[in-house]
Structure 1
Amino acid sequence: MTRFEVTTGIAALPRRVFDLSLEVEVHTASMAGSGERVIGGVTSGRMRLGDTVTWEAKHFGVRWRMTSRISACDPPGYFVDEQVAGPFARWHHAHHFEPDGDGGTVMRDVIDFAAPFGPFGRIAERTVLGWYMPRLIRLRNEHLRRAAEAAG
């Protein structure tokens, strides 16, 4: 299993960043490069505790589907999404939002994931997914930062 963290500073209040992080349309726009779209579950608006959504996207030239559930939620401090069906043996993504002391937010993503296929999956984690997944989260966070700061 692989764990990584990405920390992003955002010049917007934690509640604003928290709310935008749960918006289906914001997430979809942040992953436009992979053609991500919603194909099931909550298809628009803000997700809530217990909600599921099925995403479809193209990565490495292959179309993937992943269904995730909001498994924990304590606004505006954190929420967790976990894969319930999809390409990973495990996907657990904790989103943390803390005031930065200047009216902004320190957003911290903590992701634990495991590729399928045992030893072959561990090789994929070390050689490809270990750099690819943090890059995707940083791209998502940059989009989220711009959206939150533009909204005031």
Structure 2
Amino acid sequence: MPRICLKTAITAPLHIVFDLSRSIDLHTISTEQTQEKAVSGKTSGLIGLNDTVTWRAKHLGFTQHLTSKITDYNRPSFFADEMIKGAFKKFRHEHHFETDGNQTLMTDIFEYESPWGILGKLADFIFLENYLRSFLAQRNKVIKEFAESGEWKNILK
């Protein structure tokens, strides 16, 4: 099962980075390239323990629906979401936060299993793992920009 680990240092308080990371509204902004939109469950604001959200997005040329649920939550240091319905066989995305001096270190651990057996493993190797890594890195770039610029005030009202 592929495992993607990304670390992002953000010069902003821990609680702001944590809340931006669970903002449905900021997620929508950060995924403009895939036209991601929350279509059911929690569709705006901050997602929390046991909340679900169904996203509609265009990935790899196909419109897809993916429903995830917040299964673990410990504000402001950790939360995890897991797919309960969608294209993957399964996935779990852990979000870890810690203070490091005047910065917040945000660590994403994304583990997933593709469907289709050996064909899914081949897709992981050829393109899917890199595609997902880039997708998460873009999301983290937007979180960093909002947190460090003060634009977070427009999201976390």
> Following TM superposition, by how much is the alpha carbon of 1:100 offset from its aligned partner in structure 2, in angstroms?
1.2
Please identify runs of 4+ aligned residues in structure 1 that moved more than 4 A. none
Alpha-carbon distance between aligned partners in 2 of 1:118 and 1:15, rounded to the nearest angstrom:
40
Gaps of 5+ in 2: 153-157
What letter is aligned with 1:125?
D
Q: What residue in structure 1 maps to residue 59 of structure 2?
A: 59
Alpha-carbon distance between aligned partners in 1 of 2:32 and 2:100, rounded to the nearest angstrom:
29
Alignment deviations for residues 97-122 of structure 1 (CA, whole Å, 9 cap, x no partner):
11011x21010000100110111111
Alpha-carbon distance between aligned partners in 1 of 2:37 and 2:43, rounded to the nearest angstrom:
9
1:106 aligns with 2:102: no
RMSD after superposition:
0.9
Alpha-carbon distance between aligned partners in 1 of 2:54 and 2:60, rounded to the nearest angstrom:
19
Q: What residue in structure 2 maps to residue 81 of structure 1?
A: 81
Q: With structure 1 as the length reference, what TM-score do the two structures score?
A: 0.97
Aligned residues: 151
Alignment deviations for residues 53-112 of structure 1 (CA, whole Å, 9 cap, x no partner):
0001101110011000000000110100000000001110000011011x2101000010
Q: What residue in structure 1 maps to residue 123 of structure 2?
A: 124
Q: What residue in structure 2 maps to residue 138 of structure 1?
A: 137
Aligned residue for 2:38, secondary structure, equals strand
Q: With structure 2 as the length reference, what TM-score do the two structures score?
A: 0.94
Aligned residue for 1:44, secondary structure, equals coil
What letter is aligned with 1:107?
M
Alpha-carbon distance between aligned partners in 2 of 1:89 and 1:150, rounded to the nearest angstrom:
38
Q: What residue in structure 2 maps to residue 148 of structure 1?
A: 147
Sequence identity percentage: 38
Alpha-carbon distance between aligned partners in 2 of 1:46 and 1:52, rounded to the nearest angstrom:
11
